[in-house]
Amino acid sequence: MIKQVLLLFCLASGLTLSVSESNSASLLPHAVESFEVGYIQMKSEHNCSYMVMITTSCSSPKITLDEISLAFGDAYGNQVYAPRLDDPISRTFEQCSSDSFQIDGPCASPICYVYLYRSGADDGWKPETVKIYGFDADPITFNFNTSIPNDTWFGYNFCQTPPPSSSYKLSTQKWLICMVVGFLLSFWL
């Protein structure tokens, strides 16, 4: 009976380690200390087209004169950068509005990070969501619903580094070690 309980305990511990390892990404948007954007994005047959919809919160100021930029990409280094999406003349980023942008760039799939950059007056522009329709994947929505700090890249990074295949191996290794220890303990007790 004790052997079976120990084996069950080791199995549960291994599963707990696997689950806790995969949920380490921040669920809230955050500022990024060091982030470099890829400025060179020439249109070619190897590029993809994205539709990005940014919804501005109803608690945001009526209009913003801030300069708003966007960067998103995948875990493999494919990055799409869109400088200066703002245009006060066409009334982008007004309170309670949704603005759509057609953006071309490298084919990123699956998209796992998005950052917004705001530069200008401290008027508290507040995006609610950023939804990206892209290449070879379902649309992905990032919920912000908070003001973007001035002169800072701010957003989400759900990319797994190293890529998913190696993190799966780490979890499997922990699980196997637990099984071996449980097996050895069953002979010892």
Query: pLDDT under 70 in the chain at which residues?
Result: 1-26, 34, 38-45, 161-189
Q: How much is the pLDDT for 186?
A: 62
pLDDT tens across 63-81, in order? 888 999 999 999 999 999 9
Contacts of 163 (CB under 8 A, 6+ apart): 75, 76
Q: How much is the pLDDT for 142?
A: 97
- Tell the residue number behind the tokens 């303990």, with chain if given: 185
Q: How much is the pLDDT for 33?
A: 75
Alpha-carbon distance of 129 to 121, in angstroms, equals: 21
Distances (CA, A) of 78 to 88, 107, 110, 138: 30, 7, 10, 17
End-to-end CA distance of the chain: 10
Hey, what are 32's tokens? 């990024």
pTM: 0.69
